[in-house]
Amino acid sequence: MAEATQAYTTYIPRTNLRQQFQSDSKELVDARLNTAPLSGLNHRLQLVSDQAIAMRVVWSLLRAAFGSILAVAVTWLVTFVLKAWQIRSHIRRLQKAGKPVPPHSLLMGHLLQAKAASEELPRGAHSAYVLSRLATKLGAEALYFDPWPIAHPMLTVTDYRLANQATSHEWTGNVKPPTLSRWHAPISGRGGLNLFTQNGVDWKRDRDIFLPFFNGSNLDATLPAIVAEMLTFRDILRKKSLQKDMVLLEPLTLALMNDIIGRVIFNAELKDQTSGSHHPLSKAMLRQLDLKFPENDIVESLRQLNPLWSLEVWYNGRVLDKQIRAQIEKRATAFQAEKREGNHSASSAMLDCIVADYFYQPRHQQSHRIDEDFMAMLCAQIRLLFFAGYDSTASTINSMCYLIWRHPDVLAKLRAEHDDVFGRNTEACSAKIIENPSILHSLPYTTAVIKEVLRLFPPAAGARQGCKELVLRGNDGTEYPTEGVTVQFNHLAMMRNPATWPRPLEFLPERFLVKPQHELYPPKGAWRVFEIGLRNCIGQSFVMRELRMFLALFAREFDFNECYDEVREANGQAPGKRVTSSHSSTAGPTSSFFSSQFLSASPFILVSASLPTRAGESDVANTGNASSRPETAVSQSFPTILGDQDESLLTHSRFQSSFPFSPRCVRHERLRVTVNYCRGVSGALVMIVPAHDEFLWGLVNSSLCPNTKARSRARRTRGGICIQLGSKLSRYRNLSSDFSQCHLIMEAADDRLIPTATK
């Protein structure tokens, strides 16, 4: 019997967790290892007991976690309600004191007012329009606006004199609102601390690190990289313009700015323009901006209260930081390698300059890695500069293309100035900029055009922290206390204020060229795109150089046309209000909202006018005035100039009956005749001269075609003479004989016509 019992008895090693659970303290006692013989039934009972104990433990932990979450939620809710009551009560007190406050709700503040104003605008309109409309309805120079919990309550200023009072104040003029960090947190990370939001010694320390990069010599050194990326952009536009289809300009300019930022900041080629996809660094930054800026930012900005949104912003921010850190470490490793080899060469890239300065400091000379605090600061500041350079500059380029090409007189003057400064060979313009960067400062009219574009399309707004001591005083004597609010400078409303700017909605670059006595002359402090005072924009010189360079390289070669009606018709919509860009933060025009997505680029192609037939018999009065046009326009259709990839430069299948005309008339002193010329998309120069002038034909054939092979390619047609100079002689095609004009086509690489064609 003992043996039988032994056969059915099993000794099972087990861990008997005998726990004493105290519901008050929720403490567990140590387990005790116990090995004992159990029967099968006892074993099952013990397992059930252990499972019951485990379930009690889990349930107790869940209760404790729920209690903690509930406590946090209640604390947050109480804080939220108290903060809301504090803010709403403050705005109500201002309203009772007779200050300009739109109709206010204790529950929603001004969110309902903002929503109603935004519904009067196209979807995606910039919030600056909303505030501007609210101020216009009140008829005040400033208004108190309560968008909490989206943002802190603010005093929105629409008059430059009030803004000058704030920026000239000893304390407010130098202090950014602490609550601004919350707005910037998704952009720069690190709690939103960056050069735009920092104050005091932290701001001065970080600004001193980046400031040397923005001096003149460093900026000049970056021009070759910027020119290279803009030439890539030019080649893309040339190809797209030949497709005779609408070009979405905004994605192209954003890719251009991505590549420029990669070269200038990281010394890296991101190749967003040519690769067909975004670099991982660009992709992460674009995703972060999409999270930050919803299409309808008045209503959809409430999503920032959603914890899942915060989690997504945090996660993508880590991805972005990882990409930026990789670039920083790459440049630090390259610097250390060059330093060991003794062949360190100065680089113009911002990151290379900062890394070199860091390792040259005595306390870091023996280091091989950047410490974590400095790395975190670099990531935050670079994210800010990436955002500022990417979004603001790209949207300003789009605004220039929209405005300038809507005003042919401005475009003609712009092109004339570029002819004077750079010469008429547009292909040589980029080389002249690289060779002599200071030439960009010899463009007063171009600078005035850019400033006028920025006046109408300001890319951002200004902000300062109000205080008890500062009370702004309006022109009518109204006092605006600033305690407890952010003083926000609404650049859109401020720089379209009819009390400051005569004819405020007109595009008049001459505002910035006239003398102080002129009615258009802007008052001091009225134009404040980059803000005024110690906290002005650190990169304004760099931005202005970029914009001047863009116009110098593109204004004479392309025409940009708006295509809103075409887009609406394609979508089955009737022509109506313009729309604003939902991706960019730039405010569009008041009179006709626009989107930089709906602009198309086309080559600057000439349709000539009738010209005098004899040397010395010219009756064309315009000698070098690019804005003037010949009186009699030729009615025939002229062929376009195709790219080198096409078998023929001239073909009858690509006639266009209407171009945005902008003939360029110059005086040829040696031949004493007036000729018209322009450049096509491939860079070719078109020169139109009289068809039946034997004297001119002889000079052209002998002096402009010095080699026998070129002369043999110069043929007469029934309508005139067609000569092509350059390397593509085998692609010569006769022109149609429908019109009596003589066309001279010369490759842009051959510059022999340019020196002799003087004003």
Residues annotated in the binding site for heme, as ranges?
A: 537
- Asked if 309 and 291 touch (Cβ cutoff 8 Å), the reply is yes
Between CA 351 and CA 357 the distance in angstroms is 10
Return the closest-CA partner of residue 389 out of 272, 277, 285. 285
Q: At residue 453, what is the residue type?
A: V
- Which DSSP helix (H) or strand (E) runs through 481? strand 479-481
Q: Which residues pair with 473 in a beta bridge?
A: 479
DSSP structural state of residue 40: H
How many degrees, rounded to 5, is the angle at CA 227 between CA 224 and CA 233? 150
Between CA 300 and CA 19 the distance in angstroms is 51
Which residues have a Cβ under 8 Å from the Cβ of 729 and sit 6 or more positions away?
709, 710, 713
Between CA 88 and CA 139 the distance in angstroms is 23
Q: Is the dihedral of CA 500, 503, 507, 509 positive or negative?
A: negative
- Asked if 99 and 480 touch (Cβ cutoff 8 Å), the reply is yes
Between CA 484 and CA 299 the distance in angstroms is 24
- Which DSSP helix (H) or strand (E) runs through 136? helix 127-138
Phi-psi region of 101 (alpha: psi -120 to 50; beta: other; left: phi over 0): beta
For residue 744, which phi and psi values (nearest 5 degrees)?
A: -115, 115
Dig out the tokens for 125 from the structure: 């309109």
Return the closest-CA partner of residue 241 out of 550, 658, 558. 558
**434-455 as b/e, with b when 16 or more CB fall inside 10 Å?**
beebebbeebebbbbbbbbbbb
Which residues have a Cβ under 8 Å from the Cβ of 466 and sit 6 or more positions away?
155, 166, 172, 481, 482, 483, 484, 485, 486, 487
- Residue numbering of the annotated binding site: 537
Q: For residue 423, give the 3-state DSSP assignment.
A: coil
Return the closest-CA partner of residue 250 out of 462, 567, 540, 496. 567
Instruction: Please give the radius of gyration of the chain, using alpha carbons only, rounded to the nearest integer.
Output: 34
Number of neighbours of residue 273 by Cβ within 10 angstroms: 20
Return the closest-CA partner of residue 498 out of 751, 160, 743. 160
Residue listed under structure tokens 């010095």:
706
Number of neighbours of residue 271 by Cβ within 10 angstroms: 18
Q: For residue 148, give the 3-state DSSP assignment.
A: coil
Q: Residue 743: exposed, middle, or buried by beta-carbon count in 10 A (0-12, 13-18, 19+)? A: buried
- Which DSSP helix (H) or strand (E) runs through 285? helix 280-292
**199-225 as b/e, with b when 16 or more CB fall inside 10 Å?**
beeebeebeebbeebeeeebbbbbbeb
Q: Residue 128: exposed, middle, or buried by beta-carbon count in 10 A (0-12, 13-18, 19+)? A: buried
- Compute, in degrees rounded to 10, the torsion defined by CA atoms 698, 699, 700, 703: 120
